[in-house]
Amino acid sequence: MTRMTRENSTTNQSRILSLTAMLGAGALALTACGGDGGSSGDGDLDEVSLMLNWYPYGEHAPFYYGVEEGIFEDHGIDLEIQSGQGSTRTVQAIGSGEADFGWADTAPLMSNIDQGVSVKSVGVFLQTTPSAVQFFSDSGIEEPADLEGKTIAVSAGDAPTSTFPQFLEEAGVDADAVDQQNLDPAGKVSSVISGQVDGLIGFAHDQGPQIEDESGDEVSYIRYSDVGLNFYSNGLVASQGTIDDDSDLVERMVAATSEAFDAAVEEPDAAAGAMEGKDPQLPAQSVVVDQWKQTSEILTTENSEGEAPGWNAAEDWENTISVMSEAELIDEENPVETYYDDSFAPEGE
């Protein structure tokens, strides 16, 4: 009886040890495959998704360059870059947890926050608005007064169109003397190229280089900032849940993005080159280079000059809130902290 009990005990122990070894091997296999869902295959990097505001174009070069140069990896991030379908959609996707971070325009970010979407900006990078009137250089338009009597394509509801009346007021132009034709973004570009309109309202660093490439003709701009009207544009967005539950990740993401932008400013051609072949929607490489070079010129204001990319001045946020309120893109002038969490502001060298 005693002998049988010992033999059974020995057998059971052997089975337990074998089972433990099998489970251990299985766990190792899952780890090697990234099966935990929270880190990359080597177990050292956090898998992080970034949803852009639109299909990739030159403005996004720092993200691709940062991946290529190992900047995000140095901060423990394995970055996956996803196309977007407009800033509003991106903001809402971040709020619902479809991606970890978003790249979106500040105006729709603020509007969605006011509507209850639980997100915040963790740093605006495009700090001088790219909003501009764009037209062919031989159109006869040289200054804001020349817009009177002209037909300008707009897209109702977006920030450049909603703030166009403020631009005209600052420029001393009679708004009733400018004919505005409402078109979707693609329609605006084709209408300028075909000559159906005299110009369009949009982001100078985006559409302008595309129009030049497609038409072969030079494009000129009257930027909103030229007449003293400025407000924040695109930047990083995180959900309130991510900010509360994983502040270390947010801090690393902001720092890596800031470093990537800094590196891309130093090497603009290489940064644009990092995007080549990455997405079928990309414009021609010459356009990507031009788009990024124009983007690199609008990363600061006089309040943030000399600071690291993505460092935000409270005065610029307050001004943006005031402009958006006047444009009726937000209902009231809420405090800055309603829209922006300054806990993750990047530090310079």
pLDDT tens for each residue of 259-311 = 999 999 999 999 999 999 999 999 999 999 999 999 999 999 999 999 999 99
pLDDT confidence band for 186 (50 / 70 / 90):
confident
Q: Are 323 and 288 in contact (CB under 8 A)?
A: no
Residues 336 and 318 sit within 8 Å (Cβ to Cβ): yes
Cβ neighbour number for residue 248 with a 10 Å cutoff: 9
Place of tokens 């209408």: 191
Please indicate whether the domains covering 46-128+232-344 and 131-227 agree at the CATH topology level.
yes
What six digits make up the tokens of 296?
């690199």
CATH number of the structural domain 131-227: 3.40.190.10
**pLDDT, tens digit (0-9, with 9 covering 90-100), for 90-126:** 999 999 999 999 999 999 999 999 999 999 999 999 9
Residue 17 has pLDDT above 60, yes or no: no
Q: Residue 318: pLDDT above 50?
A: yes
Cα–Cα nearest to 238, from 80, 90, 25? 90
Q: Are strands 46-51 and 77-82 parallel, antiparallel or unpaired?
A: parallel
Q: Is the pLDDT reported for residue 37 higher than 90?
A: no
pLDDT tens profile 125-153:
999 999 999 999 999 999 999 999 999 99
For the chain, percent of residues with pLDDT exceeding 70: 87
Helix (H, G, I), strand (E, B) or coil at 234: strand
The per-residue pLDDT for 347 is 86
pLDDT at 14: 38
Between 26 and 330, the more confident residue is 330
pTM of the model: 0.86
26: pLDDT strictly greater than 80: no
Question: Average pLDDT, whole number, for the chain?
Answer: 89
Distance CA 298, CA 124 (A): 11
- Closest by alpha carbon to 76, among 271, 248, 261, 263? 248
| CA separation for the pair 73, 190 (Å, rounded) | 40
In this prediction, residues 224-244 reach a mean pLDDT of 98
Question: What CATH number does the domain located at 46-128+232-344 have?
Answer: 3.40.190.10
Residue 237 host element (H or E):
strand 234-239
Strand, coil or helix: 49: strand
Q: With 50 as the cut, is the pLDDT of residue 204 above it? A: yes
Q: What ranges do the domains of the chain cover?
A: 46-128+232-344, 131-227
- For 216-231, the pLDDT digits (tens) are 999 999 999 999 999 9
pLDDT score for 9: 37
- On the question of pLDDT at 29 being above 60, the answer is no
Tokens of 276: 């080549």
Residue 73 has pLDDT above 90, yes or no: yes
- Rounded Cα distance between 77 and 256, Å, is 9
Q: Is the model's pLDDT at 342 over the cut of 80?
A: yes
The pLDDT confidence band at residue 349, using thresholds 50, 70 and 90, is low
